[in-house]
Structure 1
Amino acid sequence: MSSINTNSSAMLALQSLAATNKALDTTQSRISTGYRVAEASDNAAYWSIATTMRSDNKAFSSVQDALGLGSAKIDTAYTGMNKAIEVVDDIKQKLVSALGASDEDKAKIQTEIGQLQEQLKSTALAANYAGSNLLANDDSATPLQIVASYDRASDGTTTVNRISVDLSNVVLFAADGTDGGLLDDTMAIDVTGADDTTIEGFLADVETALSSMATGASNLGAAKTRVDMQTEFVSALKDSIERGVGQLVDADMNAESARLSALQTQQQLGIQALSIANSNSQNILSLFR
C-alpha cells in the first residue's frame, strides 16, 4: 500500500542507515584508539578488570625499582666485603711475619698493618649506594628490607612482601667508621713490642673476623641471587598482565579493518536505499498530474 502520510520504506531505510552509522562510529573509534573496550560503557566488567590490572602493573613497576635499588645496595656491599676480606688476609700475613721478629721489624710490620687498617676503614666507608651503607652501619641487628612483590588475593586484599637481608655478619664498622662491627678487634691490633703469645691472639682474632666476613659475603651473594631472580619474575609477570589486559580490551585491528570496509559499503547502500524510498512519494504525486 502506498501512502502520502507514511513512507514505511523510507523509515525502514533510515533506521537501517542509522544502525550502520552507529556501528561505523564504533569501528572507527576502535581503530583510532586501538581498544574495543575503551570506556566502562563499552563493557563494564572487562573495563573494571583491566583498570585494576593496569593499576597493579604500575605497582609492579615500583617493585621493579625497589628490587633494582636493593640489588645495587647488596652488590656494592658485596664488592666492598670481598675487598675487605683481601685486606684482612694481608693483615693475617703480616702477623705471621711478625712471629719471632725483632722489635725493630715488628715496628716496621706495624706500620704496614696500620696502613691496611686504614684501608679497611676507607673500603667500608666507600661502600655507599644512594645514601645506604651496609658495611658501615650503626644497626647490624636490623635487616635490610627490600620490597619484592605486590600480591592481590581473590577477595581483593593486597599484600606487599619483602626480602630480608641479615646484616649481623655484614657490618664492619659503625656509620662513622669507629668501632661497632666485625673488625673491632682487627682494628685494635698493634704488634709493636708484642710477644708471640699476643701476636697469636691477634691471629685468632683475625681468623674469627675472616670467618664472620666469609659468612656475611655468602649471605650477600645469596641475597643478590634471590633479588635478581625476583626481578626476572616480576618482569615476566608484568608482561603477562599486560598481555592479559590486551586480551580483554584490545581491538583486533585486522577484524576491525575488514568490518570498516563492510560498514562503509553498507552505508553507501543504505543511502541509496533511502533515496529510492524517498522517491516513492514523487511517484505517487505523478499519478495526479
Structure 2
Amino acid sequence: MVTVIEHDHPLKLIDLQVNDEDVEEAEADEEEEKDVVIQKDFVCPCKCKRCDQPIHEYYRYYYKCVDDSCDYFAHKFCVEIPTHITPTIIKHISLPYSLKLQPIWWNWPCEYCHTRHPHEVCYADMHHIFKVCVSSVTEVDKKGIHHPSHPHPLMPLMLLKPILCECKACSREHKGLFFMCTTCPDFAIHSDCAFLPKRSLIQQTTGDIFHHTHPLTLSFSFPEAEQRAKYNPKCRVCNHNFYDERIWIYKCEKCIYYVHAYCATSREEPFMHILLTSK
C-alpha cells in the first residue's frame, strides 16, 4: 500500500500480467513486488490521475484506490516518483532551483513539454511560477511496456517533437510516439498500433462500411505456411495479399476472414474517404 498527497485513501498495486508467459523473461530481472493484487481480463476506461494518459495493460502495473467506489487510478511510474527534484537529480531538464511535488487546482502549462494540463499534481516552486509535469520528470526506462508481440521490453522514444518512422506492426510510416526495443535496434511500433484492442468488431472501427458477424482477433503475424494452408487469402478491406508475414492482422479463423490491422482500424485510405463522403 502507498499513499499520495492528492488522494485521501491508500492505493493498492495491481499486476495485469502476472500469468502472462510473454513477460517471464522480464520478471526474472525485476524486483519482487509486495502486496500486489492480480487482475485478469483488464479493460480500463480510465486515465492516470497524475499524467492524464490512458492506463494500458502492457505497462503491467498500476495503482488504484483501495476503496472500489473511488475512481483514482495512476500509473506505477507516476506514483513512484520523488517528492522533491533538484537540478542534480533531474539532468534532462534545466531546473532553476529545487521543486516540490504538489497539487495545482487550475490549468497550467509545463515549462518543459509546453503542454497545458488540467488540475493535477506537478513539480512547482513555492510561488507556483515554475511548473513541470509528472510525465516530463518520469524516467524513460520506467515507462517501458511488456508487449506480447515482442520478447523484449519496449521503451518509449521520448522527444519534444513527434518523429516520422516506419512501424513494424503495420509497415507504414507514422508520426508520433514510438516504442522501441533496445535489444533489437530495428524494431519500433507506433503507440496507436501498440495499444490496438485484442478483439474488435470491424463495423465499429470502419463506421459500418465493412461488416463481419464475429469479433476479429488481433494476431502479431501471418506465417506463410498458415497462409498457404488457408489458400492464400486476401485482405477483406483492401483486397491485397499479406506479403509480409510479420505484419499484424485481425482474423476470424472460423470464417477464414483476414484483414490487415491497419485496414481494420484506419479511415485514411483514399477509397475509404470516397465511401465515407458518399454515405
- TM-score range (shorter-chain normalised) is under 0.3
More helix by share: 1
> Which structure would you say has the larger Rg?
1
TM-score normalised to structure 1 length? 0.20
More strand by share: 2
